[in-house]
Amino acid sequence: MTIAPQDKDLLWFLAEGTAGTVGEEFFQRLVEHTALAFRADVAFVAEIVPEDREYARFLACWEGGRLAPSMEYCLEGTPCAEVSESDLVSYPVGVRERFPADDMVIEMGLDGYLAVPLRGFDGNHLGHLGVLSKTPLYPDEEKLAALRIFAARAAAELEGRRHEARLRSLVDEQAALRRVATLVAAEAPQQEVLDAVVHEVAELLRTDTAGLLRLDGDQVTIVSGKSSDEDAPVPVGLTAHIDRFSATKDALLGGRPARSDAARLGSDERTPELRRLALQSAVAAPITVAGRVWGAIAIARTTQEPMPPTTETRLGDFAELAAQAISNAEAREQLAASRARIVQAGDQERRRIERNLHDGAQQRLVALALSLRMAQTALADDPRATDLLSQASGELQLTLEELRELARGIHPAVLSDRGLAAAVEALAGRCAVPVDLDLPQERLAEQVEATAYYLVAESLTNVAKYAQATEASVSVRREGDRLHVEVRDDGVGGADIEAGTGLRGLSDRVEALHGTLRIESPAGAGTRVAASIPLAA
Ligand SMILES: Nc1ncnc2c1ncn2[C@@H]1O[C@H](COP(=O)(O)OP(=O)(O)OP(=O)(O)O)[C@@H](O)[C@H]1O
Ligand SMILES: [Mg+2]
């Protein structure tokens, strides 16, 4: 058992009692030994809550012979409220009468109070070290000096602890921002990045819920969300008028971070789905993309504990990253869409030319051929005219064939009329080497059929021109929501996308539909051109 010291041994007793301890343990040993040294019923070391200086919380409290659980209390109405103003607060007797609102004093029937402040290196009031006793508590110089020395030691401990926490949170924040930035740089899908932002923010800022909200006119949609309570999920997908939101509304309209309190968060103005989350405090920051407010990132707590004043700035950093991800993704989307439009416009133009040739020039040539035949009949008696006419007729036939061939190259009517399988069969039929076919009979979206067709057409033309192959194969297979198109040959290999315009054009076409193209063509080992194209292009 630890024996209480004589007064002259007090400093030694406290030093011995706390020797070699730091942090939590130091505070606990300090209050225990202070209580013993002062023969007090209560000894405590408390810090002023940085986010709300009206409150203090025990770092450690020794009460009735043992450590009491840590708790937070309102300073008003307690003797502790006076500590910040002075270097010493001492009520040797009568504390009960003076502070009837102090629960602990009343409940324990305490009479004497003595406390000194904990001050930071800049003189800032951090908290206090004090003792309370049921019997009168007259301080002597010796005791006071000891108390002051250990208050200074406790202040240093507390500041160290706060610095460490700040440093740790800075490191965590940098790591979280870096993880999201890596996703942005890797051009991960937009939704994945948004979900990651929400996840990191919720973890880092220790909130109960976090969400990303998109603004469209005066409507707000929750596009991503995370809740720590499985039974109260964030209603992702919910769309409501901007007036139905609180902090988010202020952030969107004001263009800067905003806060909201329990009264507004619980008000009838809010959507019932959001009210159900029982949020007590919220902070939102706007996300600005290309000079326009795109939406907001919001976090909220379901507990009374207020969010620290740094929350706005920290949330703002994540809002900027989200903005970066969104603008990257939108730029990519726009690029893909414009490529798709160009390819589609080209296909339409080809179809129009094919139709014009078919309905115009081709029909006129057919009519001319008929006229020639009639002239031949009419001039049957003139052998020279018959000769000339039959020669002209032959040339006309060739022109017509050439024109048909040309029209087919521009856009095969069979593709529009009878679909991919028929069109590819026709291509294979004209190929210089035998082609093994594996084709689906179903019709697919026009753009998908056209892209698959041009891939096969270009690849088989290349086979004939360069491959010196003995055989080739074409396979078109549907797997789930994608179409796999593959053309192989057993020729010399060496296909190079940089060498001409054919393969490059295929790659553009396939990518315009968000598909992927692979070309494998090692020297001497044949060529494989393969594409995977989403069907819902
Ligand atoms: N199946 C193949 N076997 C061997 N070499 C090939 C094959 N396909 C393409 N190549 C080589 O790759 C090059 C690029 O092909 P690509 O189709 O892009 O252009 P191109 O056929 O030369 O010209 P374009 O298609 O614009 O008329 C070709 O010039 C050829 O040397
Ligand atoms: Mg080519």
**What is the rounded CA–CA span in Å between residue 212 and residue 72?**
33
Q: Are residues 15 and 127 in the same domain?
A: yes
What's the start-to-end Cα distance of the chain, in Å? 81
* Closest of 241, 257, 385 to residue 314, by C-alpha: 257
Q: Are residues 186 and 161 in the same domain?
A: no
Residue 24 lies in a domain: yes
Distance from the alpha carbon of residue 470 to the mean position of ligand 1, in angstroms: 17
Residue nearest atom 12 of ligand 1, based on CA coordinates: 495
Q: What is the pTM of this model?
A: 0.53
Convert 258-323 into a string of H (helix), E (strand) and C (coil).
EEECHHHHCCCCCCHHHHCCCCCEEEEEEEEECCEEEEEEEEEECCCCCCCCCHHHHHHHHHHHHH
Distance from the alpha carbon of residue 506 to the mean position of ligand 2, in angstroms: 10
Q: Are residues 161 and 130 in the same domain?
A: yes
Residue 489 lies in a domain: yes
**Helix, strand or coil for residue 180?**
helix
Residue after which a domain boundary falls, among 105, 138, 165? 165
The phi-psi region of residue 64 (left if phi > 0; otherwise alpha if psi is between -120 and 50; otherwise beta) is left
Q: Are residues 423 and 480 in the same domain?
A: yes
Q: Are residues 121 and 216 in the same domain?
A: no
**What CATH number should be reported for the domain holding residue 476?**
3.30.565.10
Residue after which a domain boundary falls, among 288, 303, 323? 323
Number of domains, the chain: 3
What are phi and psi for residue 194, nearest 5 degrees?
-60, -45
Predicted confidence pLDDT, tens digits, the chain (537 residues): 455 556 558 888 888 889 888 889 999 999 999 999 999 999 999 999 987 889 999 999 999 899 999 889 999 999 999 988 888 999 999 999 999 999 999 999 999 999 999 998 888 899 999 999 999 999 888 889 989 999 999 999 999 888 888 888 888 888 888 888 888 888 788 888 889 999 999 988 888 899 999 999 999 999 999 998 888 899 999 999 999 999 999 999 999 999 998 888 888 778 888 888 888 999 999 999 888 899 999 999 998 877 888 899 889 988 988 888 888 877 777 777 777 777 877 888 888 888 778 777 888 888 888 888 888 888 888 888 888 888 888 888 888 888 887 777 788 888 888 999 999 999 999 898 999 999 999 999 988 999 999 999 999 999 999 999 999 999 999 999 999 999 999 999 999 998 888 898 898 889 888 899 999 999 999 999 999 999 985
**Residue matched to tokens 């220790």:** 206
CA distance readout (Å), 534 to 355, 444, 512, 518: 29, 11, 11, 15
Q: Are residues 140 and 16 in the same domain?
A: yes
Residue 87 lies in a domain: yes
Answer for the pair 436, 474: CB distance below 8 angstroms, yes or no.
yes
Residue nearest atom 9 of ligand 1, based on CA coordinates: 495
> Going by C-beta distance under 8 Å and a sequence separation of 6 or more, which residues neighbour residue 105?
78, 79, 95, 96, 99, 113, 132
Residue nearest atom 24 of ligand 1, based on CA coordinates: 502
CA neighbours closer than 13 Å in the CB half-sphere of residue 486: 12
**What is the rounded CA–CA span in Å between residue 347 and residue 76?**
79
**Residue matched to tokens 């549907």:** 478
Contact residues of ligand 1, CB 6 A cut-off: 462-463, 466-467, 489, 491-496, 499-504, 527
**What is the rounded CA–CA span in Å between residue 476 and residue 442?**
11
| Shortest-distance ligand to the CA of residue 503 | 1
What does the pLDDT read at residue 8? Answer: 52
Residue 61 lies in a domain: yes
**What is the rounded CA–CA span in Å between residue 528 and residue 493?**
9
Domain extent for 143: 7-165
Distance from the alpha carbon of residue 360 to the mean position of ligand 2, in angstroms: 30
Q: Are residues 131 and 205 in the same domain?
A: no
Residue after which a domain boundary falls, among 288, 323, 358? 323
AA letter at 83: V
Q: Burial of 510 by CB count in 10 Å (0-12 exposed, 13-18 middle, 19+ buried)? A: buried
Question: Atom of ligand 1 at shortest distance to CA of 503?
Answer: 18
Q: Are residues 214 and 294 in the same domain?
A: yes
Residue 149 lies in a domain: yes
Distance from chain centroid for Cα 249: 21
| Shortest-distance ligand to the CA of residue 497 | 1
**What is the rounded CA–CA span in Å between residue 103 and residue 112?**
15
| Shortest-distance ligand to the CA of residue 466 | 1
What does the pLDDT read at residue 1? Answer: 47
Q: Are residues 56 and 147 in the same domain?
A: yes
Answer for the pair 326, 289: CB distance below 8 angstroms, yes or no.
yes
Residue 118 lies in a domain: yes
AA letter at 168: R
The DSSP call for residue 360 is: I
Residue nearest atom 22 of ligand 1, based on CA coordinates: 500
Residue nearest atom 1 of ligand 1, based on CA coordinates: 463
Q: Are residues 132 and 30 in the same domain?
A: yes
Q: Are residues 146 and 200 in the same domain?
A: no
What does the pLDDT read at residue 98? Answer: 95
Q: In 10 A of CB 314, how many CB atoms? A: 23
CA distance readout (Å), 32 to 29, 134, 165, 434: 5, 17, 26, 95
For residue 73 the two structure tokens come to: 């209390």
What does the pLDDT read at residue 213? Answer: 96
Residue 382 lies in a domain: no
Answer for the pair 116, 24: CB distance below 8 angstroms, yes or no.
no
| Shortest-distance ligand to the CA of residue 467 | 1
Residue 526 lies in a domain: yes
CA distance readout (Å), 376 to 62, 150, 257, 391: 125, 126, 90, 11
Helix axes of 383-410 and 363-378: crossing angle, nearest 10 degrees: 170
**What is the rounded CA–CA span in Å between residue 299 and residue 251?**
12
Distance from the alpha carbon of residue 495 to the mean position of ligand 2, in angstroms: 9
**What is the rounded CA–CA span in Å between residue 245 and residue 58?**
37
**What CATH number should be reported for the domain holding residue 212?**
3.30.450.40
Q: Are residues 187 and 144 in the same domain?
A: no
What does the pLDDT read at residue 283? Answer: 95
Alpha helix stretches (DSSP H) within 411-478: 413-418, 420-430, 446-462
> Going by C-beta distance under 8 Å and a sequence separation of 6 or more, which residues neighbour residue 57?
46, 47, 49, 70, 71, 72, 73
